[in-house]
Amino acid sequence: GNALNGRIAIGGAKNAALPLMVASLLTADTLVLSRAPRLADIRTLTELLRQHGVEIDMYAAGAGHEMSLRTPAITSTTAPYDIVRKMRASALVPGPLVARCGQARVSLPGGCAIGTRPVDLHIRGLQQMGAAIELESGYIEAKAPKGLRGAEIVFPFVSVGATENLMMAACLAKGETRLVNAAREPEVADLAHCLVAMGAEIDGIGSDTVIIQGRDSLHGARHEIIADRIEAGSFAIAAGMAGGCLELDGIELGLIGIAAETLRAAGLTLESIPKGIRVTAERGGIIGTDVMTEPFPGFPTDLQAQMMALLSVANGASMVTETIFENRFMHVPELVRMGANINLHQASAMIRGVPHLTGAPVMATDLRASMCLVLAGLAAQGETVISRVYHLDRGYERLEEKLAGCGADIERVREGG
Ligand code: UD1
């Protein structure tokens, strides 16, 4: 129930860091990534990349961490089920592996808490670039012994991961690749900028048509990972729920995009300050607002759960529609247990604001859903105990420290529990 006041440093974006790390498979030289966040997903990907032959070091540098990745040779082209099942970003490795050494054997990711999340677009794109694909014992086997060739790939719908995977593959393919209806997320553009620094030729960065001219090889580079817009948006919502004033350090307001407009419509004040964003909110001043998740530049699905926590204490009603994932409302029953008034109908949730939430024992189900419960707990009357917080560590660095530093009454009582 405490108001939040203070400064919070925003880290490098998890969803930019993961594909950037994978890009190190494309060259024998060293790729140095600065502003690397320390997160469980980064550790999982480190484990996967190491067994492909990537030498990885992470060390403190300045305000953040620097990561150095070097792949003198690909020592294994297999991405095993044990690691892939932990993290969907593993789906990014087949493109670079086939592009660099003509083959990849990658476990299918399987289902996950927020839907079936297939990889058919990744597979189809690689086939169009000349890879022969077979499915065997739960593994995708991709082979292109003579290398990949450029192609025109038209995505039937937007996929962040497929755009990234095929963009990386195209950098080492023969000739030109056009990715049409490509994802325009800032993290995709960040990857493209890094690939250009590594010697790739890419046009249309940040647009829905990306054109890549293949090269024989890429070289090393240094690259600073962009700020995490989802982390920043989550803390902005925390200020909205608890009331107070937070300064989010190291991110520009423009990067938050339409989420800033949505938060303003919900009654928060967001303004640019030197090297950051100031968020001010009055407790009890939240206004019901309709939200629909969409590919960038639309409202990000990765902020949907957190936004729903905010709207559950708004004045008036809100409709939240999820268009990206078919099963991303797992936080709803938990919010309802805390006193929220939410009705689900297919892909939409009708939220009728209540004056306050009440603390309860709740269970985290996925990364963003766990943040939604933390936010709800901050504003609720009484104590909230969240179990399975390991989900949080996949995407939020030192969350309880950052919030407690601004006045929140939050502590981790058991590691990983
Ligand atoms: C990325 C983000 C994730 C975010 C999501 C949507 C990373 C590491 N993760 O995930 O946090 O929630 O974008 O912004 O960057 N799909 C298919 N076939 C495919 C690929 C995707 O049907 O081959 C579907 C998915 O099931 C989903 C939708 O397309 O319904 C969008 O998925 P996609 O954009 O690929 O998400 P990810 O890259 O997995």
Q: Residue 273 phi/psi, 5° resolution?
A: -130, 165
- Rounded (5°) CA angle 340-345-350: 40
CA of 159 to the centre of ligand 1 (A): 5
CA of 300 to the centre of ligand 1 (A): 11
Q: How far apart are the first and last CA of the chain?
A: 24
Choose the residue to mutate in 87, 160, 163, 293 for probing ligand 1, maximizing ligand atoms within 8 Å of C-beta: 160
Atom of ligand 1 nearest to the CA of 302: 12
pLDDT in tens, 21-51: 999 999 999 999 999 999 999 999 999 999 9
Checking if the pLDDT of 165 tops 80, the result is yes
> What local confidence, expressed as pLDDT, does residue 316 receive?
97
> What local confidence, expressed as pLDDT, does residue 415 receive?
64
Task: Find the range with the poorest average confidence among 189-193, 279-283, 365-369.
Answer: 365-369
pLDDT in tens, 368-401: 899 999 999 999 999 999 998 888 999 999 999 9
Average pLDDT, the chain: 95
Give the burial class of 400: count Cβ atoms within 10 A of its Cβ; 0-12 exposed, 13-18 middle, 19 or more buried.
middle
The tokens of 26 are what? 């494309």
- The average pLDDT across 345-373 equals 94
CA of 408 to the centre of ligand 1 (A): 33
pLDDT in tens, 285-332: 999 999 999 999 999 999 999 999 999 999 999 999 999 998 899 999
pLDDT in tens, 68-85: 999 999 999 999 999 988
> What local confidence, expressed as pLDDT, does residue 326 receive?
84
> What local confidence, expressed as pLDDT, does residue 114 receive?
53
Whole-prediction pTM value? Answer: 0.96
Checking if the pLDDT of 112 tops 60, the result is no
Name the 3-class secondary structure at 317: strand
The answer to whether the beta carbons of residues 301 and 325 sit under 8 Å apart is yes
Give the C-alpha separation, 367 to 393, whole Å. Answer: 8
DSSP string, 274-301: TTEEEEEE-TT--B---EEB-STTSB-G
> What local confidence, expressed as pLDDT, does residue 86 receive?
85
> What local confidence, expressed as pLDDT, does residue 198 receive?
98
- In this prediction, residue 61 has a pLDDT band, given cuts at 50, 70 and 90, of confident
Which runs of consecutive H residues, i.e. helices, occur in 179-317? Answer: 186-197, 229-242, 253-256, 258-265, 304-311
pLDDT in tens, 113-126: 555 668 899 999 99
The answer to whether the beta carbons of residues 100 and 28 sit under 8 Å apart is no
The answer to whether the beta carbons of residues 283 and 243 sit under 8 Å apart is yes
User: Ligand 1: residues whose CB is within 6 Å?
Assistant: 15, 18, 88-89, 115, 117-122, 159-162, 187, 301-302, 324-325
> What local confidence, expressed as pLDDT, does residue 62 receive?
74
- In this prediction, residue 110 has a pLDDT band, given cuts at 50, 70 and 90, of low
Give the C-alpha separation, 3 to 340, whole Å. Answer: 20
CA of 119 to the centre of ligand 1 (A): 9
Q: Which residue, by CA, sits nearest to atom 29 of ligand 1?
A: 159
Please list the active-site residues: 112
pLDDT in tens, 228-287: 999 999 999 999 999 999 999 999 999 999 999 999 999 999 999 999 999 999 988 999
The tokens of 378 are what? 């901050």
- In this prediction, residue 158 has a pLDDT band, given cuts at 50, 70 and 90, of very high
Could you tell me which of 231, 229, 292, 286 has the C-alpha nearest to residue 263?
A: 286
> What local confidence, expressed as pLDDT, does residue 336 receive?
97
Checking if the pLDDT of 217 tops 60, the result is yes
Q: What's the farthest any 2 CA atoms get from each other in the chain?
A: 64
Provide the residue type at 255 as one letter: L
- The average pLDDT across 333-337 equals 96
- In this prediction, residue 417 has a pLDDT band, given cuts at 50, 70 and 90, of very low
Task: For the chain, state the CA radius of gyration.
Answer: 21
> What local confidence, expressed as pLDDT, does residue 116 receive?
62
Percent of the chain with pLDDT over 90: 88
DSSP string, 146-171: T--B--EEE-SS--HHHHHHHHHHHH
Question: DSSP letter at 25?
Answer: G
Is there a cis peptide before residue 19, judged by omega within 30 degrees of 0?
Answer: no
Checking if the pLDDT of 111 tops 70, the result is no
Q: Which residue, by CA, sits nearest to atom 8 of ligand 1?
A: 15
